[in-house]
Amino acid sequence: MLVVLLAGEFRSAGELAKSAGITPQAASTQLAQLVDNNLVVVRQQGRHKYFALADADVAHALEALSMVAERDNVSARWEKLNYKPLKCARRCYGHMAGELGVAQFQMLMQRKYLCATENGHQLTEAGQKWVAELGMTLQVKNTTRFAYPCMDWSERRDHLAGSFAKALLAHYVESDWLRIEKDSRALTVTLRGQRELLPLFALPNAKS
């Protein structure tokens, strides 16, 4: 259930129960424990309750635990057919992870659009110009939560996390460069994304 919530969305107990293969009653009991331990938050809407991860720290802890749990079988797992879309690109608490997430972070650092400071990673003048050329309106806040590296579950290298990373992913989806897949954390590169997004990261075309 926690892995499903890594997508950064609110889900009902019924949806989470279905994803975990357990009864709604069992899911509700476990979700109550997760809420009590500040790992999950709940939102009441009418007679329904919706659940989400408490914050980005919980999401990063889950990614780290996933790496520890699978460190003896990393290559084999990510070669499985149902894992390949997640390896290419996926949502990690609102930002982009996987191969595309790592490529994005490498590009931003190599082209000096981002620089590391004592207060997290910040946009340089060149980075602000690049953001404007993308057509994004971005409120830059010089905080550690604006942009920072996050170790990637599948790639074992850093991708970009923080409010800047979330804004970039939202822009890619709105531009129809990436498509959010239903009931999955996977992100699909559209034909338009192959033409306009992948060249930004200096990547070859991938299957849509």
Same domain, 187 and 92: yes
Same domain, 89 and 36: no
Same domain, 82 and 157: yes
pTM above 0.75, yes or no: no
pLDDT for 74 equals 57
Domain containing residue 46: CATH number: 1.10.10.10
93 burial via Cβ count (<10 Å: 0-12, 13-18, 19+): buried
9-43 pLDDT, tens digit per residue, is 788 888 899 888 899 889 999 999 999 999 999 98
Same domain, 23 and 85: no
Same domain, 30 and 121: no
Residue 101 confidence class, pLDDT cut points 50, 70, 90: very high
Asked whether residue 62 is assigned to any structural domain, the reply reads no
Cα 69 to Cα 32, 66, 77, 201, distances in angstroms: 25, 5, 12, 30
Kindly give, in sequence order, each residue whose CB lies less than 8 Å from that of residue 60, ignoring residues fewer than 6 positions away: 93, 150, 161
Same domain, 35 and 100: no
pLDDT > 90 in the chain, percent? 49
Give the domain range for residue 27.
2-54
Same domain, 196 and 102: yes
CA dist., res. 153 & res. 159, Å (int): 10
Candidate from 33-47, 69-83, 128-142, 175-189 with smallest mean pLDDT: 69-83
Asked whether residue 113 is assigned to any structural domain, the reply reads yes
52-71 pLDDT, tens digit per residue, is 888 888 887 887 777 666 65
Candidate from 47-61, 69-83, 111-125, 170-184 with smallest mean pLDDT: 69-83
Residue 134 confidence class, pLDDT cut points 50, 70, 90: very high
Same domain, 38 and 141: no
Phi, psi at 102, each rounded to 5°: -65, -45
* Structural domains in the chain (count): 2
Same domain, 27 and 81: no
